[in-house]
């Protein structure tokens, strides 16, 4: 039996049922933790609802700045994409929630933590790897793997019996489930489970469709310091405000929608539809700046690391030593990524049209097709090519002897 458990609590129906189930099943003190990660919902009702259940210790924390500064921006320094497309909006939020739950558990003396992730998805793995990585002896309670409330009917019956208010809209299956934070919003399940069926346009909340986006492009200039964005059009922003502003610019121009089938860590394929307007802009403009600030070797080595780095985050290994090793290398590279990128936002597209940096590696004296004043001797290329061809020539001669 647990003496106290820290529950990741949204205030929604599912986690309210979990709260009551913990009280009934474990007879323990429940401490609720609700995180503001920029999901766009009013969180004070979660506090009031927890109090109605007799919860004495209620935490509602605004983590938006920490989320973007310490999780989103470091991930974007790696240009991370899972399976070449997914910007990891759900994945990157879980380590912070897990970290804060463990901090609260230590603060209040709780010996257990609880999450509301199902036994079929990735989030159970992400939460629990975070918990164990930060507090190896913690007890983890995962109701969806323990209880017999395995249908909507049973959940609603339990809620009714326990006196948990259920809105009429919640008594029918939702057309899809969503997860939101300042980086993205995801849509999965039910109406989206057939990967051949197109999503419904009225589903989206953060972007207009590219077809309905303005006919006139929006130009922006994004300034970076040491790999992170700090200003748009000369206006400085905090990390969270920066991402919010990029979201607004991207959403207004139909940017950041993605419909994919991804490989879950637990083994099955899953279809997800995402809106990540600000992240889509950030990835494009940041990479453009790297092209003039990073050496070819740095860029190419980062590109080799990126798929493994992205997979570590997707699978829940944010607190692993290998992710931290990669992060150290990525952050060292980013020390040189300072400058400005100009982009055109137009009907779902981010089109880079300019980039500049004080420490640029681009030298027009070397790259010009005109007279370069002796900066580059074209005769040197002959020896370079011969040395590069040496192994190919040797191989061809040797194998023709057979």
Q: What DSSP letter does each residue of 92-131 carry, written as one string?
A: GGHHHHHHHHHHHHHHHT--EEE----TTSSHHHHHHHHH
What burial letters (b/e) apply to 246-261, b meaning 16+ CB within 10 Å? bbebbbebbbbbbeee
Q: Is 123 a catalytic residue?
A: yes
Q: Is 14 a catalytic residue?
A: yes
Q: Is 94 a catalytic residue?
A: yes
pLDDT 10s digits, 297-331: 999 999 999 999 999 999 999 999 999 999 999 99
H-only helix segments in 317-379 = 321-334, 364-367
Of the residues 47, 177, 287, 342, which is catalytic?
A: 177
What burial letters (b/e) apply to 290-310, b meaning 16+ CB within 10 Å? bbbbbeeebbeebeebbeebb
pLDDT 10s digits, 209-229: 999 999 999 999 999 999 999
pLDDT 10s digits, 230-266: 999 999 999 999 999 999 999 999 999 999 999 999 9
Q: Is 177 a catalytic residue?
A: yes
Nearest CA to 248 among 34, 40, 92?
Answer: 40
**What pairs with residue 4 in β-bridges?**
29
37: exposed, middle or buried (Cβ count in 10 Å: 0-12, 13-18, 19+): buried
pLDDT 10s digits, 340-370: 999 999 999 999 999 999 999 999 989 888 8
196 φ/ψ angles, rounded to the nearest 5 degrees: -90, -20
Contact 277, 251 (CB under 8 A): yes
Q: What DSSP letter does each residue of 68-87 carry, written as one string?
A: IIIIIHHHHHTT--BTTTB-
Structure confidence at residue 42 as a pLDDT band (50, 70, 90) = confident
Of the residues 2, 14, 111, 259, which is catalytic?
A: 14
pLDDT of amino acid 173:
73
Of the residues 77, 123, 126, 271, which is catalytic?
A: 123
Residue 168 neighbours by CB under 8 Å, 6+ apart:
none
Cα separation, 162 vs 154, in Å, equals 12
Say yes or no to pLDDT of 190 above 70.
Answer: yes
Structure confidence at residue 2 as a pLDDT band (50, 70, 90) = low
* Radius of gyration in angstroms for the set of CA atoms belonging to the chain, rounded to a whole number: 25
| SS3 state of residue 165 | coil
Of the residues 36, 64, 77, 94, which is catalytic?
A: 94
50's enclosing H/E stretch is: helix 44-52
Cα separation, 279 vs 337, in Å, equals 18
pLDDT 10s digits, 108-164: 999 999 999 999 999 999 999 999 999 999 999 999 999 999 888 898 999 999 888
């Amino acid at each position: 039996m647990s003496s106290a458990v820290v529950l990741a609590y949204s205030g929604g129906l599912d986690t309210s049922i979990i709260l009551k189930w913990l009280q009934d099943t474990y007879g323990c003190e429940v401490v609720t933790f609700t995180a503001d990660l920029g999901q766009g919902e009013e969180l004070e009702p979660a506090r009031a609802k927890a109090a109605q259940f007799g919860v004495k210790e209620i935490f509602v924390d605004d983590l938006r700045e920490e989320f973007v500064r310490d999780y989103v921006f470091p991930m974007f320094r790696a240009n991370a994409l899972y399976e070449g497309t997914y910007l990891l909006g759900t994945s990157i939020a879980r380590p912070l929630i897990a970290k804060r739950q463990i901090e609260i558990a230590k603060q209040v003396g709780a010996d257990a933590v609880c999450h509301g992730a199902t036994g079929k998805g990735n989030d159970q793995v992400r939460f629990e790897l975070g918990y164990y990585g930060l507090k190896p002896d913690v007890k983890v309670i995962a109701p969806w793997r323990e209880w017999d409330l395995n249908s909507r009917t049973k959940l609603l019956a339990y809620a009714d019996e326990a006196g948990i208010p259920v809105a009429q809209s919640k008594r029918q299956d939702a057309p899809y489930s969503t997860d939101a934070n300042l980086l993205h919003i995801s849509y999965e399940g039910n109406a989206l489970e057939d990967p051949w069926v197109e999503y419904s346009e009225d589903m989206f909340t953060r972007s207009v469709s590219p077809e309905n986006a303005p006919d006139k492009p929006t130009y922006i200039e994004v300034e970076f310091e040491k790999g992170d964005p700090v200003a748009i059009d000369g206006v400085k922003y905090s990390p969270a405000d920066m991402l919010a502003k990029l979201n607004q610019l991207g959403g207004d121009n139909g940017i950041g929608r993605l419909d994919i089938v991804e490989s879950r860590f637990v083994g099955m394929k899953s279809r997800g539809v995402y809106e990540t307007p600000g992240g889509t802009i950030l990835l494009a403009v940041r990479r453009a700046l790297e092209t003039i600030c990073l050496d070819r070797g740095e860029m190419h080595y980062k590109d080799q690391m990126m798929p493994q780095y992205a997979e570590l985050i997707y699978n829940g290994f944010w607190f692993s030593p290998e992710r931290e090793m990669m992060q150290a290398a990525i952050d060292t590279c980013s020390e040189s990524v300072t400058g400005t990128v100009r982009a055109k936002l137009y009907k779902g597209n981010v089109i880079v049209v300019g980039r500049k940096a004080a420490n640029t590696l681009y030298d027009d004296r070397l790259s010009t097709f005109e007279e370069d004043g002796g900066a580059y001797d074209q005769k040197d290329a002959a020896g370079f090519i011969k040395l590069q061809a040496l192994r190919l020539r040797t191989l061809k001669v040797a194998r023709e002897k057979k």
